[in-house]
Structure 1
């Protein structure tokens, strides 16, 4: 049994591009909804109650949301500019980098938005602990788990293991 897929470089680039587009659609939708909410918040009556540091936090949050949206839309414009020039593998690699940057900026946007909201609602240091816990959770889900999977694959290949090792303990068929 071989390792990987039996596909040409072009087929692999097409598959990776389609997978990337599906991933970006999910992240982009969430980011754009959050940005729309943030942009509308400035017109809410309670917005005038914000302290100066909270206004700066709001501006930072909106800027991060816009930057995230830009990075997550970036693969589309990149593809449009280079399409038909036989650069699909390079385009996929660059679009992947933009997507990871966009996800990091989205993490920062969500963190700042949560901080602003929890400070407004709680007005205490508890808000910082809640946001810190959420930040750690996002980092674990979005970055640590994928990096662990890459590390594990590299470690398994060094030990000569081929194929996919189970992430759970195997069950005993006799039980």
Structure 2
């Protein structure tokens, strides 16, 4: 493939590109939505457990923050579906794709925060005297590496530069 063809990408109109990108985005969102909805559903049951009342107040705060983060992540990751329904047929798909991509990125960041907060809460209960931070920080670093580090590396490594 020539450098010129690499720079041009696919031979598609703006609308065709938006259609393709929308399909790809929705597939990505489905994966994240499933994860956040399962986690959020689980979190909602915790408060109804008898042991919840016996948790220290700090754990109650962590739980409340975690539930709020999960609710926000759910909203951001379901948002692209609502956006699509509201603008379907209005000839604004390229703009909708960009907005939905931003919502998805925000949703993934909120999902990361929800998962980190959940881990903190669970590990504080499971190992109250344990080194919770030493257990959570490597997991968060792993998430950051998988969700942002490697994709950004691939983007930088494999995307042609204008001065190529």
- TM-score bracket, shorter-length normalisation: over 0.9
1:94 corresponds, among 94, 99, 120, to: 99
Unaligned runs of at least 5 residues, structure 1? 161-175
Quote the Cα distance in structure 1 between the aligned partners of 2:163 and 2:52.
Answer: 58
CA shift at 1:157, angstroms? 2.2
CA shift at 1:150, angstroms? 2.3
Structure with bigger helix share is: 2
What is the aligned partner in structure 2 of residue 172 from structure 1?
none
The runs of at least 4 aligned residues of structure 1 exceeding 3 Å deviation read none
Q: Secondary structure at the match of 1:140?
A: helix
Q: Deviations over 1:27-63 (max 9, x none)?
A: 0000000000000011112111210000000000000
What is the aligned partner in structure 2 of residue 58 from structure 1?
63
What is the aligned partner in structure 1 of residue 85 from structure 2?
80
| 1:25 is the counterpart of 2:33 | no
Report the number of matched residues. 159
- The higher radius of gyration belongs to 1
TM-score when normalising by structure 1: 0.87
CA shift at 1:158, angstroms? 5.0
Q: Which moved more, 1:135-144 or 1:119-128?
A: 119-128
Q: Deviations over 1:56-115 (max 9, x none)?
A: 000000000000000001101111111111100100000000000000000000000000
1:39 corresponds, among 29, 44, 48, to: 44
Unaligned runs of at least 5 residues, structure 2? none
Quote the Cα distance in structure 2 between the aligned partners of 1:148 and 1:124.
Answer: 38
1:143 corresponds, among 127, 142, 148, to: 148
CA shift at 1:147, angstroms? 1.6
TM-score when normalising by structure 2: 0.92
User: CA separation of 1:6/1:158 partners in 2, compared to 1, >3 Å: closer, same or farther?
Assistant: closer
Quote the Cα distance in structure 2 between the aligned partners of 1:98 and 1:158.
Answer: 28
